[in-house]
Structure 1
Amino acid sequence: MMKSEIKKLKELDQIRSDLIRRISHELKTPLFSILSGSQFLLDYSSGKIDEEIRKYLKIIHRGGNRLKNLVDNLIITYSIESNKLRLELKRENITQIIKDCIENIIFQAKKRDLFVNIELLKELYFDVDKSKISFVISEILLNAVRNTPPGGSIFIKTFEHYDYMDIIIKDTGVGLTKKEIPILFKKFGKIERSGMGLAVDIEGPGLGLFISQEIVKLHNGKIFVKSKGRNKGSTFFIRLCGLKTTELLKN
């Protein structure tokens, strides 16, 4: 009886995964039309249509981008669960990858009046899948931006040890309780903070950190977080192995 029930559960889980994959792929074509169409109208409508209409076009475009990110994350999650996520490893300068990721989020940080402190090793080479490691670093940075109230700070550092290196992203944000930390890296492990009076961005379905953890595992590394509790900030560690001698560059 137990074996039969386990088999049924596995079949249901497979049906669920296949359904998510199919729906995600079906959404990509209309999403492309929405994003490309709204971007075209924004690019060529300046001064030609009412600003109120342009405001709604921007809302449509932002909403389309959020939905695209969700669809992309669902597809990656399916690849992880079906053991189809593969790495394309190449020798890369991790420092440059981090700088590129910071550049992509710096506007959002400034918009929230956040101070960003950067202390990176000048050269830090490692065999990684550049696009996937960029996803991980960007996700942690965005998490810091979203969960740090205006006027707070974010610190980004790299440390090289004998046989591994750490990318450390620390914030002065809302922090994590002991109950919240185990949830953080689970699939759909979103921590509900609406109605708590915290000046944070609560968007997202809770897939980014789950995907990040799986990507780092594929690189034979690990990702973990430390926090002393509510309103005491969080420190994320992305740990990778196998580096060469580097130089310190303080920005």
Structure 2
Amino acid sequence: TDIMNVAAVSRTKDDLAWNFTRLVMEETDSCMAAFYIRNEAEPGKLDLVASVGLPPDTLKSIAPSSLEGQFGAPVLASEVLLLDIPPARSPVFHTIAGQLLPAQLLTLPINVREEPVALFAIGSLTPYPEEYKHAFSIVREGLNAAMANLLAGERERELVQDLQAANQELAAQSEELEYQARELENQNAELNIQRRKSEEASRLKTEFLSNMSHELRTPLNSILALSRVLRAEGKERLTDEEQEYLNIIERNGKNLLMLINGILDLSRIEAGREDLHMKETQASRLLLETAESMRPLAREKGISIDCDFPQELPCIITDEEKLRRIIINIAGNAVKFTETGGVRFCATADGNAVSINIEDTGIGIEADELPFIFDEFRQSDGTMARKFEGTGLGLAIAKKYAEILGIDISVVSKPGSGTTFSLRIPLSPVMPGDAHPSGAEPRETSADTPARRRKHHLHVVEDNPVATMHIRRMLEPEGFRVSTFPGGRASLDSIEEDIPDGIVLDLMMPGMDGFEFLKELRRRKHDIPVLVLTAKVLTREDTKFLNENGIRFLALKGDVDPGDL
């Protein structure tokens, strides 16, 4: 009954240990007692929880599995054991009494599912009555049951706490996911609106430029035609001064027509309406014809036109008229900016391509102007714009046509020493559909090709080489030029030399992570589009940070669609 009462009032294992120890000390002539309970972190050990009358060097923990000393026999036999202590002062067994040896010790193992979970021991300076062993054997059954209930209760409370913690975590994650879903939905809606506005603005711009170019070109052609008629018919009747007036009208009219044609070409290219007429072309013939067309202008300036290439260059499959336009625009620029010396056309067979160099001995280009040489409406500086006529569209159009045709174009220049433009033209570029064989009729092909997209340079900032390889294999076949960096610092250093068109960014990286990279990128005033690619579950603060830094594109790792990317 007393044991049942002790079990009823004990809420924890420690309570049971202390309550039972006090009860036994009150009911027996024991001088000392100890209650050991299993350490749940180290199940092979029993730790001292409750004790009375023990010396300081008492065993603080025991390992019953070793079956040594006072505890070995009770654990092995799984029964109460009375142990008589020999009169010798040097102990033979490890006991709870240390060096102060009582006359007799009683040890009671407590088991749950046949495993020792606790040990209780008492000691007396006089022998215990013989019936104590039987009595404590009965008590042991009650202790086994009480300990089993307490262990089950503790386990149940732990499970409840774990479940509550898991529910709270799931609730927090659910809230975060709902927030992110709402944010992404709002962003997608905003992006759709912006996309539609951008598409509409682009359509209106293209339509406006096309209409205005057409409306301007029609009357301008009439003015030029009539001025030529007037000059021819009035050759005998007009004075020299009047003839010069007509020359000025025609010259300025041609310049204006060139500007209008350039704007029309640019608007057509940017709208993706440029059709390709691919056919086999003799590179040497095309170069000779272009060089001959430059000779009259070169003679007026007193400079030479030289050709240095074999007559039997390989044939190339390309859009001949667009390639001709590229070469004419570059050569025309060379003649315009060359005062002494001349312009030279060079070409060689280069494996599966033909390499063409157009060299001049002109004024050259400053190093800080080279990155902008292919920009629209741009010449080297204001002084040149006043000294040399031109619209600043020729090289821009040449560059765009080169991208459409898959031609690599580059420039090397030194102020005062001239400029060299280099073209590398593939013999048979990969275009949508099959290339036309020799003698086949050309057909029109859309200009929206990987070659067209080669101008797009992307940085992939990702520390995982497998992910980097995966992204590269998705982007490069689509025509993008990809540079990979294992960390943000290397990408930032590269950006100072060559600003990319976009960045694919991993957030979680060692060293400088994606968040620090974005802070530094925006601090340097770079407004480069960034696609964030991450497996991280974003918090509300993360999402807010990305929004504040202009990130509107987010993709999860392992779920990347090549088309979306």
Q: TM-score range by the shorter chain?
A: 0.7 to 0.9
1:210 aligns with 2:400: no
1:241 aligns with 2:430: no
1:231 aligns with 2:416: yes
Counterpart residue number, 2:405: 219
- Rounded Cα–Cα distance in structure 2 between residues aligned with 1:126 and 1:72: 27
How much has 1:81 moved relative to structure 2?
A: 0.5
Give, as a single letter, the amino acid of the residue that structure 1 aligns with 2:421: F
Contact 2:358 2:421 in 1 (8 A): yes
**CA gap 1:100/1:195 in 2 versus in 1, 3 angstroms:** closer
How much has 1:195 moved relative to structure 2?
A: 6.5
- Rounded Cα–Cα distance in structure 2 between residues aligned with 1:203 and 1:52: 23
Counterpart residue number, 2:275: 86
Counterpart residue number, 1:186: 375
The total of aligned residue pairs comes to 238
**CA gap 1:237/1:195 in 2 versus in 1, 3 angstroms:** closer
Contact 2:412 2:420 in 1 (8 A): yes
Counterpart residue number, 1:99: 288
Match of 1:135 among 309, 313, 325: 325
How much has 1:43 moved relative to structure 2?
A: 2.1
Give per-residue Cα distances to partners, 1:94-116, cap 9 Å, x unaligned.
21122221222211111111122
How much has 1:193 moved relative to structure 2?
A: 4.7
Give, as a single letter, the amino acid of the residue that structure 1 aligns with 2:406: N
**CA gap 1:35/1:195 in 2 versus in 1, 3 angstroms:** closer
How much has 1:15 moved relative to structure 2?
A: 2.8
Secondary structure of the 1:180 match is helix
Secondary structure of the 1:179 match is helix
- Rounded Cα–Cα distance in structure 1 between residues aligned with 2:409 and 2:302: 27
Contact 1:91 1:127 in 2 (8 A): yes
Give per-residue Cα distances to partners, 1:42-79, cap 9 Å, x unaligned.
22222222121111111111111111111111111011
Aligned-residue CA RMSD in angstroms? 2.1
Contact 2:355 2:423 in 1 (8 A): yes
Counterpart residue number, 1:247: none
- Rounded Cα–Cα distance in structure 2 between residues aligned with 1:48 and 1:13: 51
Give, as a single letter, the amino acid of the residue that structure 1 aligns with 2:325: F
Counterpart residue number, 1:72: 261
Contact 1:146 1:201 in 2 (8 A): no
- Rounded Cα–Cα distance in structure 2 between residues aligned with 1:49 and 1:100: 36
Give, as a single letter, the amino acid of the residue that structure 2 aligns with 1:116: I
**Which runs of no fewer than 5 residues in structure 2 stay unpaired?**
1-186, 429-565
Give, as a single letter, the amino acid of the residue that structure 1 aligns with 2:422: F
How much has 1:128 moved relative to structure 2?
A: 2.2
Match of 2:220 among 24, 31, 41: 31
1:123 aligns with 2:324: no
Give, as a single letter, the amino acid of the residue that structure 2 aligns with 1:204: G
Rg comparison, structure with higher value: 2
Counterpart residue number, 1:22: 211
Counterpart residue number, 2:520: none
Secondary structure of the 1:88 match is strand
- Rounded Cα–Cα distance in structure 2 between residues aligned with 1:70 and 1:83: 20
Contact 2:291 2:307 in 1 (8 A): no
- Rounded Cα–Cα distance in structure 1 between residues aligned with 2:241 and 2:375: 41
Q: Percent of aligned pairs with the same residue?
A: 27
Contact 2:364 2:419 in 1 (8 A): yes
Q: Which has the higher contact order (CA 8 A, sep 6+)?
A: 1
Secondary structure of the 2:277 match is coil
**Which runs of no fewer than 5 residues in structure 1 stay unpaired?**
244-251
Match of 2:237 among 34, 48, 53: 48
Q: Is 40-49 or 176-185 further displaced after alignment?
A: 40-49
- Rounded Cα–Cα distance in structure 1 between residues aligned with 2:417 and 2:372: 18
How much has 1:155 moved relative to structure 2?
A: 1.4
**TM-score of the superposition, structure 1-length normalised?**
0.87
